[in-house]
């Protein structure tokens, strides 16, 4: 499995903020494939009005909301994050991107919804896509953009109660599995495994895209879960017979992100 990374991901400046370039500097030392810009795909899920709002916020270096910062280079970084995710979905890779996407267009450190764009693009080509979101936060943006969309199913595990406060119940094609702070591997897999197995069997997707947030890992400064690589690799084990692709969401301990990403890439070989 290839790592997909572009140095411009480090140029999305956020100031003193948990979502900063330190999270991904380690990728400069890895063998990575560079994506192209995915600007042409933004309109698959985002309105022109929203795209222009983000573009202008970046030009003026103003924040999109209270915790979603932008800088001059952020629009370009975000377009390359979309391009990296689309490339990962085409070639079976791990897109190591910034800014993350699963809260977009609802802020939460995210500018464009990388995963929703890649999944809708595949669905528009007649493919069935299952999205698994193991970030510690609910992907309210992804749910909003894919709910009711034929060819897509979304499963999210997330800490509750917690930001953004959504994802308490399942809706249509979006299965939400809220879990309490302190959830460990055993409790996590006990809830997720049967739901994931059933979706794989009954929905039978050709593609599985993982919104891979490592803020669900033990030791994360924001998240309250106690997961280890074991949970992530167990999900990989269940989905490995499909066309799998991954995109980085949250995860605010750079060492955790590096360790977990490397274990997943190693798993797929």
Catalytic residues: 103
What are the C-alpha distances in Å from 223 to residues 11, 191, 264? 25, 18, 20
Work out how close the CB of 69 gets to Zn ion at its nearest, in angstroms, rounded to a whole number.
16
Work out how close the CB of 48 gets to Zn ion at its nearest, in angstroms, rounded to a whole number.
28
Q: Which is nearer to Zn ion, 55 or 162 (CB)?
A: 162
Q: Which is nearer to Zn ion, 83 or 250 (CB)?
A: 250
Whether 6 contacts 87, CB under 8 Å: no
Work out how close the CB of 223 gets to Zn ion at its nearest, in angstroms, rounded to a whole number.
7
Q: How far apart are CA 234 and CA 213, in angstroms?
A: 15
Binding site for Zn ion (CB under 5 A): 135, 137, 213, 215, 250
The residue sitting closest to Zn ion, measured at its beta carbon, is 250
Q: Which is nearer to Zn ion, 205 or 213 (CB)?
A: 213
* Region of 209 on the Ramachandran plot (φ > 0 left; ψ -120 to 50 alpha; else beta): beta
Whether 38 contacts 85, CB under 8 Å: yes
Kindly tell me the burial class for residue 62, based on how many C-beta atoms sit within 10 Å of its own C-beta (0-12, 13-18, 19 or more).
exposed
Work out how close the CB of 18 gets to Zn ion at its nearest, in angstroms, rounded to a whole number.
10
Instruction: For residue 219, report the phi and psi dihedrals to the nearest 5 degrees.
Output: 95, 0
Q: Which is nearer to Zn ion, 37 or 156 (CB)?
A: 156
């Amino acid at each position: 499995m290839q790592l997909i990374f572009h140095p411009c991901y480090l140029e999305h400046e956020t100031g003193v903020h948990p979502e900063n370039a330190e999270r991904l500097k380690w990728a400069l030392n890895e063998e990575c494939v560079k994506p192209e810009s995915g600007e042409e795909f933004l309109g698959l899920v985002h309105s022109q009005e929203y795209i222009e709002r983000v573009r202008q916020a970046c030009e003026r270096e103003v924040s999109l909301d209270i915790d979603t910062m932008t800088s001059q280079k952020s629009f370009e970084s975000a377009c390359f994050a979309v391009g990296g995710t689309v490339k990962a979905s085409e070639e079976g890779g791990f897109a190591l991107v910034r800014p993350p996407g699963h809260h977009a267009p609802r802020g939460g450190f995210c500018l464009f919804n990388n995963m929703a764009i890649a999944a809708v693009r595949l669905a528009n080509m007649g493919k069935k896509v299952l999205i698994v979101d193991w970030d510690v936060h609910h992907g309210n943006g992804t749910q909003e953009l894919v709910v009711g969309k034929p060819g897509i199913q979304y499963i999210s595990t997330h800490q509750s109660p917690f930001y953004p406060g959504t994802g308490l119940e399942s809706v249509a094609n979006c299965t939400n599995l809220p879990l309490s702070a302190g959830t460990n591997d055993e409790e996590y897999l006990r809830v997720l495994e049967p739901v994931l197995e059933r979706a794989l069997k009954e929905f039978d997707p050709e593609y599985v895209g993982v919104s891979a947030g490592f803020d669900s890992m033990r030791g994360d400064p924001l998240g309250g879960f106690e997961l280890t690589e074991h949970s992530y690799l167990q999900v990989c084990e269940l989905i490995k017979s499909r066309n799998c692709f991954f995109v980085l969401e949250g995860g605010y301990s750079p060492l955790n992100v590096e360790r977990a990403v490397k274990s997943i890439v190693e798993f797929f070989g």
